Amino acid sequence: MEWIKIERPLFTLFVALVLAGAILTASEWSIRASIIILVLGAIGLSMAVAQLIADLKNLSSKNTAAALTMEAPTLQAGRRWGNVEIWGWLLSFYAAIYLIGFLAAVPLFVLSYTKVYGGSWLIAALLALTSWGFVYSLFDILLHVPWPTPLLSILIP
Amino acid sequence: MFEAAIEGLQSVLTFQSLAMMLLGVVIGSLVGFLPGIGGPTTLAIMLPFVMVMKDPVPVIALLVGIDAVGNTASAFTSILISVPGSAGSQATILDGYPMAKRGEAARALSASFMASLVGGLVGPLILLASLPILRPLVLAFGSPEFFVLTLWGLAMVGVLSGNAPVKGILAGIIGVFIATVGLDVKSGVERFSFGEPYLWDGISLIIVALGIFGVPECIDLASQKSSIAEKQELGSGFKQGIMDVFQNMWLTVRSSAIGIWVGFLPGLGSSVADWFAYAHAVQSEKNTENFGKGDVRGVIAPEASNNSKEAGSYIPTLAFGIPGGTSTALILVAFTAVGINPGPDMLTTQLPFTFAIIWTLAIANIIAVALCMAFAKPIAKCCFLPFYTIVPLILVFVFIGAFASHFNRYDLLLLMVFSALGFMMRRHGWPRAPLLLGVVLGTKMELYLWLSYTRFGTEWLWRPGVVILFILVLASVLYPFWQGQGSRHRETI
Amino acid sequence: MNRFLLRNSLLASLLCMSVSLALDAHPADGAAAKPYFEGKTIHILVSSNPGGGTDTAARLVSRFLPKFIPGQPQTVIQNMPGGGGTIANNYFAAKAKPDGLMLFQDSSSGLGNFTRGGSRIKYDPRKNLAVGSITRGGSLMMISKDARPRLMDSKAKKVVVGDSDGIRTWVATLVWAAEYLGWNVRFVYGYPGSQELQLALRQGEIDIWGTSNAKLIRDFVKEGKHEIMFQQEDERRPGFPEVPTFEEILGNKKPKGAAWEAYLAWSGPNEIDKFLVAPPGTPVEIMASLRDAFTKMGKDEEFHKQATNFFGDAWRTRTGEKTQTMIHDVTTITNDAEGFLTKIRTKYGLPTGEQKR
């Protein structure tokens, strides 16, 4: 069975759990604050369960266009590695921002991504420089942003 | 009044004012382009310079110029890279981006600019026409009426869910829950903030929009290793786009009307005008199977309305000196500094200033559209660039946008969370537009219902305004059924 | 080549960091020929979004204060909104160095949050050193003429007081009026902001509203449907000499003891309004020049004009020393008074400030 078919009901389950969690948290509040969560949450939870059942039924059926009007297209099951790769880059960029700060992470990211996937040194350098310049002039010069301290700055005296 | 109009026009047509307007348009366009860095941030930067100027009219030209055009240029990013350049151009993504993928970017762009032009002219026109009834108009809308309007917004969820209504409604509900995060003013309870002061003010819409719409499409590009346009030709789309607007002029005007209508309601306006117009187009047009797949009308409607809404947000300002949104609030600060007294005087002793504002709105829009048209073709070529140049730039762009709202790293964390959510939703066919709508409208609906009930008990249900609006909402929901069109064949967005 | 560029950009950011660190270094001697502030930049942290009242005050200060500081430093505004001022307060408490180059413009809500407490409050405003404050004047209470007759008639429909979050300092006056003068009011709160409240007042959705914005009040009065009931001030504002103060209205019904202490605790912070502070430990000479400059600024003619443009005519500045004392006064509250406050807030359906935090 394709992974994507398993993933689908899992995601619906996730949504249902989030709704349930919200209802539980909200039940401790005063009624003024909680009523909208309780009402919509109850409606949502029942719909999520219905959707979950539909997804599970679809698991066993061979035909993706099963008689469930609750389905919708847009599946691209084959690109799993491509997805993992880009998520890796995203998370690394985010980590870089935390570790060495926005100003350094931006050119680093742009440079490495462009180079790794086939750009020439010139293009990569140019793009890195432009993006760094943009971030610097906008945030530092114009907006005087109080930059959060990067984690690794402790190592730099 | 006629003399005031001429006086206003003359003051705006001076060299200094026009130069200021041009500056404002350029700044506003650049800013509209960039997600997250919106009107308020720019205006805040401009404030120190502006507060020392002596002559009010160039100040009007500059600030109103910046404010009026942010929504025109934001179409660039929405159409080309599926990143909402400003809150007003989210709906444009739904059809604009698919058009870019088909190689029709130039057509989408010129259509959006032309529609923006119409919206930007119709807006001030309607504003002008309603000057006499401005005050009663603003006064007619109390909490109950606002509530019914938010209901109308919720009816859109059904429309935007395409052929997956259950998932669409669920997405909408999740959106409402996201909006409830933060301090609930009416009860003093901090909802879902888990003790973090960062979350007290709630989750910012732009981060949700960037994460849900901007990043997943970029991920797609990266994992497919393709450029944006799947076909390598620009086509003669540019002229076609302009023709499209003329062929759909009635839709364009209707969308502009919706924009100004929604824009004038304080607090409701900026982020919903484009959704309302889009959904209205889906509901009222024929042959809607292609909406969500690259129907040019799906670009025209939101773009017309997001320009006219700017004129709308000046209505409460001109009527009572009440700002229609954050940008207008900042503009009012500047006005006060240079001696313009926002308030009832604007319709009496300061009428020439009022006209200067209206003229600036119109002229700035014309200049902005001309600028954007000039740059449309060259910028559209970026659709053909290889993904390894585009992807990192888009991501940096998006991260900047997320960071720029509060300069807080938590925003980036949230961005990742919403990117993951948007990615999963797209992967499994969950409509994303209703989620955004839920975020925008959810708490407002809750608040106005609460205020209506606390203040009026159940009497508010019988107010004439409420009844009329309710009938209108019902009509707009039932209209497609009456016309014999269902939503069976539309793509999930 | 990429390493070169990478190192370059790293170096660039390092350079920036070290330059700012160098700038922050302590001055060598106080009696130098060059004034301490010359060539330096003061960063003013602001606890609100651009355009709000606190921000406007900060911008005024940033424009005019340097004129009176020897050395005429540059000033730069850094907005850090969030959590009703908590985020900025926490940041300032944690990061600000006592060198006079980072100041903080806060408003009374920062004090209010501190008094209410909670685990996320990581600052103590009493430790900061006040440079000065701008108060925009007390609030004036407006009531619609139609509703006024119902105010003293307990059998009529209750008069509606509207507010955003129910904890504004002027709300205290109406609560005490209801309790001790028998006013027939009820409170509806939750309105998103003053725009909506103004609209609601005009439409008759609410009957009573308080604001310190003199211009706004005059506009309302001019339109004829509303009138001013009283003002929340020590003495009558020069712009409104005919309007009685709240204490005048209370007269001899004014309560004593915990009941009055509680009132002061609730309404007090408003008196301070927008205040500018330096971090604890700032050297005495620097504080002296800052405070002195602030006082001089308050008398400057151009500053006067702009402040009146924005705040109406009842604003005044207070010295750093006075501000410091007031901050201390309003953040101290006895247990009895606190208990009373909770009780009376609950009685009128207002938030008590003891939610889960």
Tell me the C-alpha distance between B304 and B274, whole Å. 8
Given a cut of 50, whether residue C282 has pLDDT beyond it is yes
What per-residue confidence (pLDDT) applies to B285?
Answer: 85
Neighbours of A122 (CB within 10 A): 9
**To the nearest whole number, what is the mean pLDDT of chain B?**
82
Burial B210-239 (b: 16+ CB within 10 A, else e): bbbbbbbbbbbbbbebebbbeeeebeebbe
pLDDT at B424 over 50: yes
A127 touches chain B (CB under 8 A): yes
Interface of B with C in 376-415 (CB under 8 A): 406-408
Q: What is the pLDDT of residue B40?
A: 65
Label residue A72 by pLDDT band (50, 70, 90). Answer: very low
> Cβ C50–B138 below 8 Å, yes or no?
no
Q: Which residues contact B348 (CB under 8 A, 6 or more apart)?
A: none
Q: Across residues B426-438, what is the average pLDDT? A: 87
Cα B405 to the chain's mean position, in Å?
17
Model pLDDT, residue A22: 94
Question: What does the alpha-carbon distance between residue B2 and residue C91 come to, in Å, rounded to a whole number?
Answer: 54
The single-letter DSSP state of residue B368 is: H
Number of domains in chain C: 2
Q: How far is residue C102's CA from residue C95's CA, in Å, rounded to a whole number?
A: 9
- Mean pLDDT (chain C, rounded): 82
In sequence order, the 6+-apart residues with CB closer than 8 A to the CB of C180 are: C250, C253, C254, C255
Structural contact between residues C312 and C136, judged by C-beta atoms closer than 8 angstroms: yes
CATH number for C101? 3.40.190.150
Domain containing C162: what range?
A: 140-268
The predicted model gives C281-298 an average pLDDT of 92
**Cβ contact B163:A69 at 8 Å:** yes
Per-residue model confidence (pLDDT) at position B232: 57
C19 pLDDT band (50/70/90 cuts)? Answer: very low
Which of B402, B410, B105, B440 lies closest to B269, judged by CA?
B440
C254 and C174: one domain?
A: yes
Element (H, E) at B426: helix B409-427
Contacts of A115 in chain C (CB under 8 A): 2
Has residue B489 got a pLDDT over 60? no
| Tokens (6 digits) for C211 | 């604001």
B294: left (phi over 0), alpha (psi -120 to 50) or beta: left
Do C144 and C198 fall within a single domain? yes
Residue of C2, C77, C356 lying closest to A125 (CB–CB): C2
**Cβ neighbour number for residue C129 with a 10 Å cutoff:** 21
Measured CA to CA, the distance from residue C262 to residue C254 in angstroms comes to 12
* Residue B34 or A29, more confident: A29
pLDDT digits (tens, 9 = 90+) for B354-391: 888 888 888 888 998 898 888 887 887 777 788 888 88
B333 lies within 8 A of chain C by CB: yes
Determine, yes or no, domain membership for C204.
Answer: yes
A122 φ, ψ (degrees, to nearest 5): -60, -50
Query: Lowest-confidence range among A124-138, B261-275, B428-442, C333-347?
Result: B261-275
B486/A contact by beta carbon, under 8 A:
no
DSSP code of residue B491? P
Q: Would you call C130 helix, strand, or coil by DSSP?
A: strand
Q: Has residue C9 been placed in a domain?
A: no
Average pLDDT over residues A49-64: 78
Is C241 among the domain residues? yes
pLDDT digits (tens, 9 = 90+) for C293-320: 999 999 999 898 888 877 777 788 889 9
Token pair listed for A146: 């109080």
Do C253 and C161 fall into the same domain? yes
What's the pLDDT score for residue C24? Answer: 40
Cα gap B20→B55, rounded to integer Å: 12
- Taking the C-alpha atoms of residue C106 and residue C47, their distance in angstroms, rounded to an integer, is 6
* DSSP state letters, B247-291: HTHHHHHHHHHHHHHHHTSTTTHHHHHHHHHHHHHHHHSS--TTT
Q: Which residue, C268, C296, C321, sits at the end of a domain? A: C268
**Helix extents (H) in C96-159:** 108-116
Look at residue A74 in the predicted model and tell me its pLDDT: 43
DSSP string, C227-241: EEEEE-SSS--TT-T
Distance CA C126, CA B428 (A): 54
Q: Are residues C132 and C59 in the same domain?
A: yes
CA distance B150 to C114: 36
pLDDT digits (tens, 9 = 90+) for C221-240: 888 889 999 988 777 877 78
C317 φ, ψ to 5°?
A: -100, 155
**Measured between CB atoms, which of B329, B337, B454 is closest to C188?**
B454
Mean pLDDT over residues B205-224, rounded?
Answer: 85
State the smallest CA–CA distance between residue C134 and chain B in angstroms: 17
Answer yes or no: is pLDDT of B475 > 70: yes
Q: How many CB atoms lie within 10 A of CB B135?
A: 18
Q: Is A54 on the interface with C (CB under 8 A)?
A: no
**Residue among C1, C80, C356 minimizing CB distance to A125:** C1
The total number of residues written for chain A in this structure: 157
Please name which of B457, B255, B359, B389 lies closest in space to residue B13, comparing C-alpha atoms.
B359
Provide the pLDDT for residue C235. Answer: 76
Q: How far is B434 from chain C (nearest CA, A)?
A: 23
Q: Is the pLDDT of residue C278 over 90?
A: yes
pLDDT at B320 over 80: no
| Nearest-angstrom CA–CA distance, B192 and C83 | 14
Interface of C with B in 337-356 (CB under 8 A): 351-353, 355-356
Residue C146 amino acid letter: D
Residue C167 in tokens: 């904890």
Question: What distance in Å separates the CA atoms of residue B391 and residue B413, rounded to the nearest whole number?
Answer: 19
Best mutation site among A109, A113, A144 for testing chain B: the one with the most B CBs within 10 Å? A113
| Of residues C345 and A72, more confidently modeled | C345
Tell which residue, B69, B97, B103, B115, has the closest CA to residue B297.
B115
Number of CB pairs < 8 Å for A and B? 170
pLDDT tens digits along B33-65:
777 666 666 776 677 677 777 778 888 888 888
In chain C, which residue's Cα lies nearest the Cα of A102?
C13
Q: What is the pLDDT of residue B419?
A: 93
What ipTM goes with this model?
Answer: 0.85
Residue C2 lies in a domain: no
Look at C50 and B330 and tell me if their CB atoms are within 8 Å. Answer: yes
User: Is C222 an 8 Å CB contact of chain B?
Assistant: yes
- pLDDT score of B113: 93
Residues C131 and C279 in one domain: yes
Phi, psi of B320 (to 5 degrees): -135, 5
Burial B334-345 (b: 16+ CB within 10 A, else e): bbbbbebbbbbb
Range list of H helices, chain C: 2-24, 53-64, 86-95, 108-116, 171-180, 194-203, 214-223, 246-250, 258-267, 269-272, 284-299, 301-311, 320-330, 335-347
Higher pLDDT, B318 or A106: A106
Decide if A50 contacts A71 (C-beta within 8 A).
no
Distance CA B31, CA A64 (A): 44
Chain B environment of C219 (Cβ under 8 Å): 321, 343-344
Whole-angstrom distance, CA of residue B11 vs CA of residue A157: 57
Q: State mean pLDDT over B259-264.
A: 81
Asked if C76 reaches chain A (Cβ–Cβ under 8 Å), the answer is yes
- Please check whether residue C337 lies inside any domain of the structure: no
pLDDT digits (tens, 9 = 90+) for C69-88: 998 898 888 888 777 788 88
On whether both C243 and C297 belong to a single domain, the answer is no
Residues C199 and C124 in one domain: no
Res C7 pLDDT > 60: no
Residue C8 located in a structural domain:
no
Q: Is residue C281 part of a domain?
A: yes
Measure the CA–CA gap between C195 and C62, rounded to whole angstroms.
27
Q: What are C106's strand-pairing partners?
A: C275
Q: How confident is the model at residue C3 (pLDDT cuts 50, 70, 90)?
A: low
Chain B residues closer than 8 Å to C202 by CB: 139, 320
pLDDT score, position B76: 87
The whole model's pTM is what? 0.80
Q: Which amino acid is at A93?
A: F
User: CB of B47 within 8 A of CB of B59?
Assistant: no
Tokens of B155: 């009816």
| B186:A37 CB<8 A | no
* Distance in Å, alpha carbon of C200 to nearest chain B alpha carbon: 7
Q: A154 CB contacts (<8 Å, ≥6 apart)?
A: none
Does B459 have pLDDT greater than 80? Answer: yes
Q: What is the mean pLDDT of residues C252-280?
A: 86
DSSP structure class, residue B296: T
DSSP C203-231: HTS-SEEEE--HHHHHHHHHHTSEEEEEE
Question: Which uninterrupted H or E stretch holds C317?
Answer: strand C316-319
Contact B228, B109 (CB under 8 A): no
Give the model's pLDDT for residue C251: 87
Does residue C25 lie within any of the structural domains?
A: no
Q: Is C115 helix (H, G, I), strand (E, B) or coil?
A: helix
pLDDT score, position B485:
52
Among the partner-chain residues B183, B333, B343, the one whose CB lies closest to the CB of C56 is: B333
First-to-last C-alpha distance (Å) of chain A: 55
Q: How far apart are the first and last CA of chain C?
A: 52
CA distance C240 to C153: 27
Contact at CB, A103 and C13, closer than 8 angstroms: yes
Measure the CA–CA gap between C142 and A150, rounded to whole angstroms: 51
Q: Tell me the one-letter amino acid at B157.
A: V
Half-sphere exposure in the Cβ direction for B28 (13 Å, CA): 29
| Alpha-carbon separation of residue C190 from A33, B448, C53, C193 (angstroms) | 11, 9, 20, 9
Range name among A123-127, B252-256, B271-275 with the lowest pLDDT average: B271-275
Percent share of chain C, pLDDT over 70 = 87
* Residue C82 DSSP SS3: coil
DSSP C73: -
Cβ-based neighbour number of residue A1 at 10 Å: 7
Residue B246 backbone phi and psi in degrees, to 5:
-65, -35
> What residues have CB less than 8 Å from B250, skipping those under 6 apart?
none
pLDDT confidence of residue B153: 78
